Amino acid sequence: MRDRLLRIFELLLERFGPRHWWPGETPLEVMVGAILTQNTAWRNVERAIHNMKAADLMDITRIYEFGEKELADIIRPSGFFNIKSRRLKTFIAFLVDEYGGRIEGLESVPQETLRHQFLSLSGIGPETADSILLYALDRPVFVVDAYTKRFLRQHGISDGEQNYHEVQGFFTSNLPSDSALFNEYHALIVRLCQTHCRKAPQCEGCPLEEDRGRAAGPPNL
DNA sequence: CACCAGGCAAGTA
DNA sequence: TACTTGCATGGT
């Protein structure tokens, strides 16, 4: 399965090129985006982030001191703005209380410790925690999302019944632990699904399907 | 018009 | 434990 996953990765990278994820200028912006994008189109998150920058709010201390109600108004375009404002404030308060508001302070903390701390916060679930670990802190964690499960199911690699931890284990146990690889792989799966694994019942035009015919690869690939 | 988008928590049986 | 529902904007 390791060779198969690496083959898929090579095909996707060849077809779509490097994705340059995460689309954020700083670790803080990536963390903020990870919370704002929960069940939300990225386009709407961009508007919210733009508003935050315009209000000089892409700053830990500024967010910490800003009112929850006022912050909700700033991030309105990202949807679920009341609950997301609370979640942002909760996460920022964690950074301030536990690390003096210094993201560099997270660098020396073991991955699993950090993950447990994130998950203990209300509003940070497995995908958000792992997105922050991988894309803001460059830790070798594989991010699983709705696209990942859809990809595995539509390509017959799994039946789609696995939970988050099981899907994550499928990738991490069959791939070298490399943050750059995990970064690009997840981004490529998202890119693939956004145009091919979406509603198409049989993944029409899927670059991986094309390969099956020409290279006589394994079934469903 | 309905449906979806890079989830999560709280409520119900 | 296994579902269901609330959260809300903006694009297709």
- For chain A, give every domain's residue range: 2-20+143-216, 27-136
- Residue matched to tokens 């830790």: A139
The matching CATH number, chosen from 1.10.760.10, 1.10.340.30, 3.90.850.10, 1.10.287.3510, for A27-136 is 1.10.340.30
Residue A100: partners with Cβ closer than 8 Å, 6 or more residues away: none
pLDDT of A39 higher than 70: yes
C-beta of residue A129 within 8 angstroms of C-beta of residue A123: no
Question: Residue A199 — very low, low, confident or very high, per pLDDT cuts 50/70/90?
Answer: low
CATH class label, A2-20+143-216? mainly alpha
Q: Are A21 and A187 in contact (CB under 8 A)?
A: yes
- CB proximity A123–strand C (7 Å threshold): no
- The predicted-structure confidence for A118-141, as pLDDT tens digits, reads as follows 999 999 999 999 999 999 999 999
User: Which nt is closest to the CA of A146, judged by C1'?
Assistant: B6
What is d(CA A148, CA A146) in angstroms, rounded to the nearest whole number?
5
**Residues near chain B (nucleic strand), Cβ < 7 A?**
A 21-23, 33-34, 37-42, 44, 79-80, 83, 121-129, 131, 135, 145-147, 190, 194, 198
Name the nucleotide with the smallest C1'–CA separation from A128: B7
A41 CB closer than 7 A to any strand C atom: yes
Residue A214: pLDDT band (50, 70, 90) is very low
Say if residue A53's pLDDT is above 90. yes
- Mapping DSSP to helix (H, G, I), strand (E, B) and coil, where does residue A184 land? helix
What is the residue type of A98? E
Contacts 24+ apart (CB under 8 A), A6-9: A6/A175, A7/A217, A7/A221, A8/A208, A8/A221, A9/A181, A9/A184, A9/A185, A9/A188
Protein CB footprint (7 Å) on chain B nucleotides? 4-10
- pTM of the full structure: 0.94
